[in-house]
Each structure stands twice: as C-alpha cells, then as structure tokens.
Structure 1
Amino acid sequence: MKMQYTLKTLSALVLGLGTAGIAHSAGFQLLEQNASGLGNAYAGSAAIGENASANYFNPASITLLPGMNVSAGVVGIKPNFEFSDSGSTTPTTFGGKPIGGLGGRPAGGGDGGNAGAWGVVPNAHFTWQVSPRTWLGLSVGAPFGLMTDYEKGWAGRYHSEKFDIQSININPSIAFKATDTLSVGVGLNWMQLEADYRKAQFVPSFPAGMMAPIALPGGDLQARVKAKGDAWGWNAGILWQATEDTRFGLSYRSRVKIDADGTTTVSNRNIPTTVMGGAMANPLLAQLPLGAHNASASIELPDSAIFSVVHQLNDRWTLLGDVAWTGWSSIPELKIVNTGIDNATLDLRFKDAWRVSLGANYKYSESWTFKGGVAWDQSPVQSDAYRPSALPDNDRYWVSLGAKYNFSKSTSIDVGYAHLFVKNTSVNNHSAEATSGVLKGDYKSSADIIGVQFSHQF
C-alpha cells in the first residue's frame, strides 16, 4: 500500500526567520541592529539618536542628526544550548497510523552537544538632512534570526537537528521636525528570509507478517526543508524633547506576513536497502516518500513597540531606559502545506513578551565615553510543553559594557559586550508526540555578544 507520511517541516519557519546563528533577544528577535547600543543593553534605543542607526529604532530620532551621517557595524553572537536527556521517545505513528509497541520507545542517541554556533549580524545605516525640518534615512539589517545545530543522531533528532536561517531587512524612512521639541517619522520595510532545516524521521522495524512475509529493518530518514519568502511592512515613531535634559521616544513596527515557498527533500539515512542477507531489496523503501516535494507556509512575524527615555543628568552622566513589547501571539501555530505528503501543524502558543532595560553613559573625556546596562528579557514560550528544540528559549538577563572613542567631532567607533544569563530550562514537548515523539530533558543556556560600530558625520 502507498503510505501517507507526515513530516514536521514547519519548525524551520517557526524558528527560522532571521540571520544565521543567533536569536538573542527573547524568541528569535534580534535587537543587534547596531553595536553602539550593545554596551547599554539597548536601553534608550528609541530616543538616544547617537548615530545613523537611530533610523532603525525610531525614524523620528534621526532629526537629532544634522547633515549627512553613516554608521556601519557588525555584531558577533555565540549562544550556548546544552541539552541533557531525561526520557525522550520515538514517534507513535507511522504513515498516519498508530504503531503500538513499535513506537514511543526511548529515542536513544546522545544529548546533541552544544547546539549553539557563532552568528554574525552586520548592519548599515544612512541619514540625510535635506531641509531644516526634513530628514531621510535608510537602514539595512536583520531583525529576526536563529541557528541551532545538534550532533547528528541525538535524542531529539525527530524534532530538529539543524536550523540555518538568514534574512535581510531594508528600511527607508522620512522624518519631520513638527516643532522645535516634537518630531515624527515613518518608514517602509522590505524583508526577505531564507530557511534551511534538517531533522530525522523515524521508521520502525516491522516483524514478519506485519507488512511483508519477512522482517523489515527500520531506521531513520533525513528530511530537509529549504524555503524562501519576502513581504512588506511599516514602522513609525515620535520623539519629544520634554526639557533641555530629558527626551522621550516611542516607536512601532508592524507585523509582516511572509508567504514562503520551497522544497521538502526526503532521503534515506540508515535504513538497510536490502534484506535476507542482501538477497532482495527492502520493500519498505518503496513505500516511503523519498525525493523532493513542494512546500509552502505562511507566518505573521510579530509587531513591536518601544518606549524610551534619555536624561542628561549632568555634564558627564546620561541615564537611559527602555520598555519594549513584542506581539508574539501572532504565531499561535504554524502550518505547512506539502505536495505528495501530508500537511503538518506545529502547536506553539506563543505569548506576547516584554523587555525592560536600564543603562548609563559616562563621558570620561572629549574622546572617551564608557557605557553600561542591564536588561530583563521575557520569552514568548508558554511552558516546557510547547518549547521546541530549535528554540530552547527562556527568560534571560543582560549585563552589558561598552566604550565609545571619538577620533574627532565627526568620527567615532563603539565597542560593546554583553553576557546573557538564561534560566535553566526544562522541556517536555509532547505536542507532536505522534509524528516526532516526546522531547524531554533540560537545557543549560547562555550567550556572549560582542560588536563594533563605526560612525561618521559629513
């Protein structure tokens, strides 16, 4: 008989959306659109207006930048995801049918090693004051991203083995100084993302008489999804200079709905091609959907809002604060439509999340400014029952340090470093027990982030 075979491909799009290697705001959002804010844990991001990268965080804040400005940088991120298995199992169905004692067994394999890998997030920004009250801006970066890479054959291989995601976001904007103290700005966003996702698919061994007159050895298939899509969104912001020393910023980014198309490729990993001592071809392989299949999915990336304050305490100290919100509930589940194989749905139940950060700058001299910051970053994952292995996410705390050096009044360089402390994270994901088994265990996670930013005013 021809078997219908369900492949959980959509996790690639759930966790994937973004630049390779990272995801270190909570969820898979990337705050690292500059390195100049890294030293402050990105506190004050929608009101600081420090260089041309202000265009990304709040288009209204580019009115703080006279003339023409450029800023470009790179941020390197090294996450650590170390899993300890405590009872992961194999799937309980095969070809859409229950397999009784042949499924739900211990998954075997190791803990997967450290699934974190170095990622690099480049950024580039430009602003131009075209009249006394009008500014133009342009930002290029990657606002979402994730990569996890486990050892092949680990205990959670039926959930995921590797995600490798890349994205690009191009954000032109325009800003107006409505009054001497109030500015407004709006922008458009074109985002493209590409995902490469790999996982194992369980095939049980069958005793003689169940599917054929002879016993059929099982094993694992390899499933790989490559998908790509693009879409448009928008952003807007306001900036209010409340007093000579205090400034407030408020910015918003819209949801972006991306329709992604690609291919699901299924190949044989370790199922014997022959049986009976090599006397005949394994008839089980003819029942499996090996080869390439068209795949498509839609995902609505979350909207977000930032409220920031910057206060000039005195000639040397500047205080910064942020409260940010991300509407992760736009992703309650993901469904992928396959051609020739069953569709699949991943139950995520993401919740909206908050982020709070505080920072300070100390102007040591005309050349040197030193930075510090802390933050609390809430995860969108509801509980361990819905925590996917490709995003073993949890609430985290940031501790950041940085420095800015002015070569001249128009040229500067920033360096920043942050360490992210992530709560020990349990996972007991049985939401896809039928097709992927149960993933059960604990994660120890953390991250280190380092970046450099060059800025110049013409």
Structure 2
Amino acid sequence: MKSYKSLIAISVASALLAISGNAAASAFALIEQSSGLGNAFAGGAAGAEDAATIFFNPAGMTRLKGDQVTVAASFIQPSIKFSNTNSTGAALQTPGGNGGDAGGMVVVPNTYLVMELQPALRFGLGINSPFGLQTQYDPTWIGRFQAIDSQIKTVNLNPSLAYEMNDKISLGIGLDYQHITGTLTSAVNYSALAGGALGTNLEGVSAINGSDSAWGYNFGALFNLTPDTRVGVSYRSKINYNLTGTVAFSNVPGALAAQPALQNGNVTLPISMPDTFSISGFQQVNDKWDVMADATRTGWSALQQLVVSRTNGSVLQSTPENWTNTWRYSVGTTYHYNEQWLARAGAAYDQSPVADAYRTARIPDNNRTWLTVGGQYKVSAASKIDFGYAHLFVKDTPIANNQTATGGGNLVGMYSSSIDIVSLQYAYNF
C-alpha cells in the first residue's frame, strides 16, 4: 500500500509554504510556476516533466508514473527606475524626486501534488500564484499623487483530473478557486482641494484595501504524435472579481474633514484576471538533445478601466487602462549530460498589454525579452532538484500621464527597467 498519509502531510506543508509567501511581482501575470525557467517555459503545455504540469496543461499528468509532490520558489528582483524629463508637479506642492527604485525582491512559491488513481486516471492539486503586482515608490516622489504603493496578490487552488484515452491522446480538466487581495496608496493634495485657501504643501495619503474570491476553470489536451514528438494545448479561464474593502485618508485638515470625498468608508473594485490559451511543442532530437517551443495568448483586453466606487455608488477613482491582448513566444533546449545531470537554455519575447498613451505609474509595463539558463540534478531515483536563472531585458518605457485636473500633476519621463529571476524546485516520487 502506498504511503498516502505521508503524501498528504507533505502536500499540506507545501500548501502552507505557498500561502505564507509573498505572491507579488512587478508584472501582472506570473508564469513562474515550475522547473521550466531554464527553458524560458517553452513547451510548457507539452513538456509534462513533473507535477507542475497541473498549471500548464493538466493532461500532462498522465505522463507521470506513480505519485509525485513538488515544492518550488522563484525569487524575483525587478528594477524599475523613473527619470523625469518634463513633469509638472501637483499644484501647490513641492515637486519631489524620481521615486527611487520602485521594484523590490519578491518570492513566488508554488506546490503541486499528483496521485495515480488508476493506470489511466490521475488526480492533481496545485497551489500557486498566477497573478501579482508590486510597485513601491519613495513617498515624497514627484508622482506620489498618482501612485505610491500598488500591490495585487493571488493564491490559487487548482484540483485537477487527467485521463489517458489511449497512447496518443490525454485530456485534463481542473477547477480554480482563487483569492485576491489588493492595496493602492497615493498622496492626496489637500492644498489643491482647498483651492489654496489653506496654504501650500498640505497633503496626506489615501489607502485602498480590498479582497475577494472567485472560481474559474482550466483544461488541456496532450497529443503524442510519435514516441519522440508531442503537442499540447491548454486554456485557463478568465476570473471575475468584485473586491470589497475600505478607503482611509490620513492627515485630513479640519477645514476639509466634512467633505464627502475625504470620508473613510467601504469601497468596491471590479476587476478581471485574463484568460490564457497556449500551444506547445516538444521534440526529442536524440538521446542527448530536446527542443521545445510555446506560444501563449493572454486576454488582457478584459482590463479596460479601474473604477473604485463607494458603496453609495459614487466614484472614488477612475483610471482608463485600455489594455490589449498579448502573445508570449518562447523557445528552449535541454541537453542530457548524463543520467544525473541535464542543462537547459531558452529565450522568450513577452508583449506588454499597455499602450504608451495609457501607461500609469502603478504599472509602467513594456515589452520584454527573456534569456534563461538552468539545469537539473537527480539526487536519487525518487527525487530531483531543478534550478534556473533568467534575465529580462525591458524596453525603455515612456510615460506621459496628465492628472493635473484632479490634482495629480503631469508625470512625463522615462522608465528604465530590468528583471532577474532565480528559481529552485524539489520533486519527490512515491
């Protein structure tokens, strides 16, 4: 009899690790979910090398023998630096500096468990963070009336089933129960709200916090075209949220304390996490080399506007986003050095959904190019350690966000950004 008690205990411990970690990152979509960083996550829906296939394509679970649990973490270090070129500070306020480095080290943990129910049937459970965002500027910077802190964190529970129809086709399906929390802070220009009657440099901070939980689904198929060639397709659904929470204002002058717009209270924020569709290919060239490729479409057009409203229906903040759908393309290769060691390399091009005309200080995103390396060491017949490193080159990013009419000033300049990622994963077979 298999030791299911031990298997479940390890899975629960891994889940606690995932939930306690910081799931935020500099970009909304987090693909850092598996050992595939070294391949730039090329072939994600077709590789099916370990239990992390639950995220990329649940059908891939049928390729795993016996039961397996994986625990992984990606350490993400973004650098996001603003250079002022022609900004106009908020009215009646000291302009401030460039904001420092808005990026910071974050950790994205995940864990996956696969159990063999029958020779052709697998059950899987994934716990991960598919989306995250974090930017944090110096609180006195020139753009503080547009953004100071921005955070979105998600925790996703993904039970899944996979069935091997025959030696050519496997199908998989899963449910996603996802929890989201968000924080948005910015400075408030009390001097401008009072029309200058209270003097200059009167400001405070507004802090918006909210959370929600919602359901989604995912499914996929894996096609074994030949013993050495396979193709995978997968889809993850859009998830619609209506975050509920509070807004709080600090240092409100007594003369403005009665203004309805400056009252602490309850707020709501509807937002959708986008759907994704992936098609991947995997080819074993010979006993030493594998090659793989992937194309993934993300439905970012679901995010057209961010509207924070009070429960009485009045709009507290409204930010046009007008994001567009994007594609991510990746290629990779694996070299099997010997029975214990393998090496990986990859490259990817990641489109940004953000147009120049609608870029904000909260999400100063742009197109990026990935270069990655990594490897694997088999500790024993039952366990292995995967590791990877990636450097992301981000295109220089202009911003011209004019919020003068609402007291936020006109932020004009250029962002210089890059991202470094290190990942580690341990997998154990029972």
The DSSP-based 3-state class of the residue aligned with 1:39 is: helix
Higher RCO structure (Cα 8 Å, ≥6 apart):
1
Distance 1:431 1:287, change over 3 A: closer
Distance 1:106 1:84, change over 3 A: farther
Is residue 25 of structure 2 the alignment partner of residue 22 of structure 1?
A: yes
Distance 1:225 1:46, change over 3 A: same
- Whole-Å separation in 2 of the counterparts to 1:123 and 1:381: 27
- Whole-Å separation in 1 of the counterparts to 2:24 and 2:270: 22
Match of 1:10 in 2: none
Is residue 307 of structure 2 the alignment partner of residue 335 of structure 1?
A: yes
- Whole-Å separation in 2 of the counterparts to 1:369 and 1:222: 51
Match of 2:46 in 1: 47
Match of 1:228 in 2: 211
Match of 1:293 in 2: 265
Match of 2:69 in 1: 70
- The one-letter amino acid paired with 1:307 is I
Is residue 90 of structure 2 the alignment partner of residue 125 of structure 1?
A: no
Unaligned runs of 5+ in 2: 1-20
The DSSP-based 3-state class of the residue aligned with 2:61 is: helix
- Whole-Å separation in 2 of the counterparts to 1:256 and 1:314: 41
Match of 1:382 in 2: 355
- Whole-Å separation in 2 of the counterparts to 1:193 and 1:360: 35
Match of 1:364 in 2: 337
Is residue 430 of structure 2 the alignment partner of residue 447 of structure 1?
A: no
CA deviations 1:384-436 (Å, max 9, x no partner) are: x2111111100000000101000122210001100000011110123785353
Which of 168, 173, 190 aligns to 2:155? It is: 168
Normalised by the length of structure 1, the TM-score is 0.85
- The one-letter amino acid paired with 1:51 is D
Distance 1:292 1:240, change over 3 A: same
- Whole-Å separation in 1 of the counterparts to 2:25 and 2:66: 34
- Whole-Å separation in 1 of the counterparts to 2:245 and 2:258: 24
CA deviations 1:339-363 (Å, max 9, x no partner) are: 4764332100000000000000000
Distance 1:348 1:433, change over 3 A: farther
Match of 2:324 in 1: 351
- The CA RMSD measured in Å over matched residues stands at 2.1
- The one-letter amino acid paired with 1:22 is A
Distance 1:206 1:119, change over 3 A: closer
Match of 2:221 in 1: 238
- The one-letter amino acid paired with 1:369 is L
Q: Is the 8 A contact 1:88 1:107 kept in 2?
A: no
Match of 1:310 in 2: 282
Shift, 1:90, TM fit: 4.6
Match of 1:9 in 2: none
Q: Is the 8 A contact 1:86 1:440 kept in 2?
A: yes
Distance 1:19 1:333, change over 3 A: farther
Q: Is the 8 A contact 1:21 1:116 kept in 2?
A: no
Count matched residues. Answer: 409
Q: Is the 8 A contact 1:206 1:216 kept in 2?
A: no
Match of 1:3 in 2: none
Match of 1:111 in 2: 98
Distance 1:206 1:248, change over 3 A: closer
- Whole-Å separation in 2 of the counterparts to 1:59 and 1:107: 54
- Whole-Å separation in 2 of the counterparts to 1:138 and 1:339: 37
Is residue 148 of structure 2 the alignment partner of residue 148 of structure 1?
A: no
- The one-letter amino acid paired with 2:390 is A
The DSSP-based 3-state class of the residue aligned with 2:427 is: strand
Shift, 1:86, TM fit: 1.9
Equivalent runs, 1:406-425 vs 2, <5 Å: 406-425=378-397
Match of 2:242 in 1: 259
Match of 1:13 in 2: none
Shift, 1:334, TM fit: 1.8
Is residue 186 of structure 2 the alignment partner of residue 219 of structure 1?
A: no
Q: Is the 8 A contact 2:192 2:407 kept in 1?
A: no
The DSSP-based 3-state class of the residue aligned with 1:114 is: coil
Is residue 398 of structure 2 the alignment partner of residue 398 of structure 1?
A: no
Distance 1:194 1:440, change over 3 A: same
Normalised by the length of structure 2, the TM-score is 0.90
Shift, 1:166, TM fit: 2.2
Distance 1:244 1:206, change over 3 A: closer
Q: Is the 8 A contact 1:20 1:164 kept in 2?
A: no
- The one-letter amino acid paired with 1:200 is A
Identity %: 38
- Whole-Å separation in 2 of the counterparts to 1:431 and 1:181: 57
Per mean C-alpha deviation after superposition, the further-off stretch among 240-249 and 286-295 is 286-295
Shift, 1:300, TM fit: 1.5
Distance 1:193 1:205, change over 3 A: closer
Distance 1:107 1:388, change over 3 A: farther
- Whole-Å separation in 1 of the counterparts to 2:403 and 2:200: 28
Match of 2:32 in 1: 32
- The one-letter amino acid paired with 2:165 is A
Unaligned runs of 5+ in 1: 1-17, 92-102, 274-281
Shift, 1:203, TM fit: 2.3
The DSSP-based 3-state class of the residue aligned with 1:343 is: strand
The DSSP-based 3-state class of the residue aligned with 1:146 is: strand
- The one-letter amino acid paired with 2:145 is Y
CA deviations 1:138-179 (Å, max 9, x no partner) are: 100000001111111101101111123322000001111112
Match of 1:134 in 2: 121
- Whole-Å separation in 2 of the counterparts to 1:48 and 1:156: 44
